[in-house]
Structure 1
Amino acid sequence: MRIAIVGLGLIGGSLALKLSKEGYPVWGISRHRATCQEVLERGALQGCGTDLAQLADFDPQVVVICTPLEQVLVTLAALVPHLSPQTVVSDVGSVKQPIVAPATELWPLFVGGHPMAGKTLQGIQAAEASLFLGRPYVLTPLPQTQPQAVEAMKELVTAVGAEVVLADPERHDQAVAWISHLPVMISAALIAAVGQEEDPDILELARTLASSGFRDTSRVGGGIPQLGLEMARHNQQALLAALRGYQVQLGKIERLIEGERWEELLQVLQRTRQEWQQFRVNQTPS
C-alpha cells in the first residue's frame, strides 16, 4: 500500500516515520523544502515535494491530510485532480462533524480520522515513530462510506501500532469535548487564574513551588494556542455543553467548602477517585 502524507508536522511526520519503518512506501508533501529535506534525511520518505501535483506520479493508494483543521477541506479540494479514483483519503483533525460530510461529498472514498496522541511540542522535530503505540485512533465513517476505504484505514492504523476505534462523527465530537477540548480550556483558565495573583512575591513563590500537580493540570493549557482556538471554533456547541457541566460540578464543590461540609466533600472525592479509575488514561498498558 503506497501512502502519501500531506503536512509533515508532529502527526504527519510521526506517521511517516512509523509507516516507513514498517516497510510501506511513503511520499510526503510539505509547504517547506527544508521540512522535506529533514524527513528524507531521517529515512521516513521515498520522496517529498511542495506541490500536490507531484502525487500523481507516486499514485498513492491512501492519502492522509495532516494539515491544521481549517485547511483540510481546502487541501482535499486541491488534491482531487491529482488522485486516482481508487485512492482513499483521510485526515487527522480533532473535530469531525464540520469535516466528514463535506469531505465525503468532495471525495466518496474519504474516511475521517483522529489519532488520540500528541505532545506539547509541535513540528517535524518532535515527530517520533512510537507516538501512536497503544493509543486509540478514531475512524468516523458515514453510513455511505465504502467498506474498502475503511479497511484501508484500519490497515494503516494497525501498522502504526494504534487501536482502531469506530465512532459516529457527532458522538466523537461530544466525547472529545469532554476529554480533550474541555481540559485545554480548564487548564488555560487555571494558568490565567494563577497569573492574576496581585502580590508579585506570592506569584513568584507559586511559580517556584509549582510541581507535578500544577504541571499535570496545566500542561495542555500551555500548548499551541492555534490548536485550542480550532477546538473552540469548530466544536463550539459540544465544548460549551462540557464547560457548563464542569461549572455545575465546580459550583457544587465550592458550596461544600464554603459550608464546611467536609464529609460530603470527602464523598465527592471518593466518588471521583472511583470514576477516574474507569478512564483509559489510568490503565496500565498490557
Structure 2
Amino acid sequence: MIGSRLEAGGPLCRQDAGAHLRIAIVGLGQVGGSLALALRKSKIAIEIIGIDVSSRRLRLLKETLDHSSSNWKDAEKCDLIFLCMHFQQIVKFLDQTRTDSLLVDVCSGKEKIISQANRRKLRFIGGHPMAGNEREGERGWDAALFDKAPFFLCPGKFSKRSDLTQIKKLIQLIHANPIVVNPQQHDEFVALTSHLPAFLSVAYRDFSNSVPASFQGPGYKSFTRLAQTSPQLLKTFRESNARNITKQWKKWLGVLKRKSVHR
C-alpha cells in the first residue's frame, strides 16, 4: 500500500533497508525531470523509474534514476505513476492503461483529464504544480523547481481518501504546498493567470517584431518573456482548456475597449 510506505518516519526513510516505494515518472521534460531530481533529494527511500523516448534525457538522469525505459507500459507495475507529458499524451495513456496503481498527472488543465480518468474508473488524482520556467526540456530541470509552489490536487472519483493524504505528504517532501481544488474552478483561474497571459505575450511579440532591438527595454522584455513558451506547451494549454481561455479572452477584449487610451 502506498499509504504505509509514505508515512513520515516510516519504513521508507533512507536508513531503512526494507522495501522501496516504486515511483514511475512518465515524461522527463522540465517538470518530470525536475520531479525526479526533487524526489531524489527527499528523505524517503524510493525507487525511481524514469520513462522517456529521449535516450539523452535518460542518460543525463542516470545518477538520479534507479531504472530507465522508453516504454510507458513499464510504469504500470509501480506503486505510483506521475504522468508528466503533454495533454494528448496523457489522454492516450489514460485511454490505454489497465493499471490499478495510483496515477497523478501534472497537466495545467484538469477538467478534461479528470473526466477521462473517471470514465475509465482509474485510481487518479489530477495534479498541477504552479511552477516552471521558460526553458524547455532538460534545460529547465531544477531540483528546487517546486520549492514553496502551490501544487493543486483534484481527486478523481475512484481515488481513495488515503491516496490524497499520502500524495499531500509526498508533495510536502519536495517542498511544495498541496492545495485541493475543484477542477472547474482550477481551470477558470489558470486560464486567467497562466494560459491567457502566454498567448497574449506571443501575440504581442509577433505584433511588435519589427521594432529594433534598441527600443526593446526591460518593460518590453518582461511583457514578452512568456512568448518563449514552447509551441507544444501552448498547444497543451489550448487543447486542455480552450473554453476557459476563450471566455477570459472575450472578457479581456471588453476591458481593453473600456480602458481605451482615447477615452
Structure-1-length-normalised TM-score: 0.79
Q: Which amino acid aligns with 1:28?
A: G
Q: Matched residues in 1 for 2:129 and 2:52: separation? A: 20
Aligned partners of 1:52 and 1:78 also within 8 Å: no
Q: Deviations over 1:65-105 (max 9, x none)?
A: 1111111021234442xx4x3x2101111111111021133
Aligned partners of 1:28 and 1:47 also within 8 Å: yes
Partner of 2:200: 186
Partner of 1:129: 143
Q: Matched residues in 2 for 1:77 and 1:152: separation? A: 25
Q: Matched residues in 2 for 1:125 and 1:220: separation? A: 16
Q: Matched residues in 2 for 1:64 and 1:16: separation? A: 10
Higher helix share: 1
Aligned partners of 1:88 and 1:152 also within 8 Å: no
Structure-2-length-normalised TM-score: 0.85
- Alignment partner of 1:4 is 2:24: yes
- Alignment partner of 1:36 is 2:58: yes
Aligned partners of 2:123 and 2:158 also within 8 Å: no
1:258 counterpart (245, 259, 262): 262
- Alignment partner of 1:75 is 2:93: yes
Aligned partners of 1:16 and 1:44 also within 8 Å: yes
Give secondary structure in 2 for the equivalent of 1:258.
coil
Q: Matched residues in 2 for 1:77 and 1:229: separation? A: 20
Aligned partners of 2:118 and 2:157 also within 8 Å: no
Offset at residue 243 of structure 1 (A)? 0.7
Once the two structures are overlaid, the 10-residue window that deviates more, 45-54 or 169-178, is: 45-54
Offset at residue 143 of structure 1 (A)? 5.2
Offset at residue 12 of structure 1 (A)? 0.4
Q: Matched residues in 2 for 1:124 and 1:155: separation? A: 26
- Alignment partner of 1:60 is 2:66: no
Give secondary structure in 2 for the equivalent of 1:25.
strand
Structure with the bigger RCO (C-alpha within 8 Å, sep 6+) is: 2
Q: Structure 2 vs 1, CA of residues 239 and 54 (structure 1 numbering), >3 Å: closer, same or farther? A: closer
Partner of 1:116: 130
- Larger Rg belongs to: 1
Give secondary structure in 2 for the equivalent of 1:247.
helix
What are the within-5 Å matches in structure 2 for residues 128-277 of structure 1? Answer: 128-142=142-156, 145-195=159-209, 197=210, 203-204=211-212, 207-254=213-260, 257-259=261-263
Offset at residue 174 of structure 1 (A)? 0.4
Offset at residue 144 of structure 1 (A)? 5.1
Q: Give the paired residue count.
A: 241
Partner of 1:266: none
Q: Matched residues in 2 for 1:145 and 1:221: separation? A: 37
Q: Deviations over 1:234-273 (max 9, x none)?
A: 312211111111111111221xx313xxxxxxxxxxxxxx
Partner of 1:276: none
Offset at residue 121 of structure 1 (A)? 0.9
Structure 1 segments unaligned to the other structure (5+ residues): 198-202, 260-286
Q: Which amino acid aligns with 2:245?
A: L
Offset at residue 209 of structure 1 (A)? 2.9
Q: Which amino acid aligns with 1:190?
A: Y
Structure 2 segments unaligned to the other structure (5+ residues): 1-20
Aligned partners of 1:9 and 1:66 also within 8 Å: yes
Aligned partners of 2:95 and 2:116 also within 8 Å: no
Aligned partners of 1:6 and 1:30 also within 8 Å: yes
Which segments of structure 1 move beyond 2 Å, counting only runs of 4 or more?
Answer: 52-56, 76-80, 104-108, 142-145
Offset at residue 156 of structure 1 (A)? 2.3
Q: Matched residues in 2 for 1:140 and 1:27: separation? A: 24
Q: Matched residues in 2 for 1:172 and 1:60: separation? A: 28
Give secondary structure in 2 for the equivalent of 1:104.
helix
Offset at residue 125 of structure 1 (A)? 3.3
Aligned partners of 2:154 and 2:182 also within 8 Å: yes
